[in-house]
Amino acid sequence: MQVEKIILHSEWGRDISHKHIKNDNPSVAVFFPGQNYSCELPLLYYTGRSAYDAGHDLLMLEYGYQSARTAFEEAKVDQLIHECYTSINQIINDYNDVVFVSKSLGTYIAGKTAELFKERSIRHMFLTPIRSTIPIIEKFGGLVVSGTKDPVFHEDDIEHIEGFPNTEVLRIKDANHILEVSDLHQSLKILKNLVEVSSGFFNHK
């Protein structure tokens, strides 16, 4: 395993540092964090481990506002998408297969970034999407994981996307926006289930 840093200057006045984990794999999984949910937190960390074990290199993104330790501003979302595109463009031509794994706000960012790679076929895993991601899910399909008690993405939103083509939806009963429930042990079971499902997803190339 070789860990490199992709460092670029950001609109937010600070350098952004993306972790690129390489093992001479022909596939790469790119991870888009949530608004306040980094790639080091459980959902993305363990799906990242799952992707690596399935034979993917990893690119763990950091957003410019996160590096600058400031709040997300919706008015700057286009700059955020452009920075993600520029960063991924540094390495994408080294790979035959590309997967985008995204969480919450990252599901929208990932979809809009994928639209800029017009010549590439990109598979998607959407973890706890937001409502603005619905047209993106309809366009690209992929694996969607959402909790039935998510205050951001409601059960009727889940029902809406279940009829989309090439879309697999995993409902997590009673789980919130970080796929947790009130019981600790049940939350750990949910995380274990997510790892098992993601392993199947990543092994299907």
pLDDT digits (tens, 9 = 90+) for 52-111: 999 999 999 999 898 888 988 888 999 999 999 999 999 999 999 999 999 999 999 999
Structure confidence at residue 205 (pLDDT): 63
- What element of type H or E holds 36? none
Amino acid at 107: T
- When the pLDDT of each residue in the chain is averaged and rounded to a whole number, the result is 95
Structure confidence at residue 23 (pLDDT): 92
pLDDT tens-digit profile of 14-30?
A: 899 999 999 999 999 99
Taking residue 25's Cβ as centre, other Cβ atoms within 10 Å add up to: 19
Over residues 32-45, the mean pLDDT reads 95
What does the CA dihedral 154, 157, 162, 167 come to, rounded to 10 degrees? -100
pLDDT band for position 13 (cuts 50, 70, 90) = confident
Name the DSSP letter for residue 68: T
Percent of the chain whose predicted confidence (pLDDT) is above 90: 87
Its sign, for the CA torsion 1, 117, 141, 66, is positive
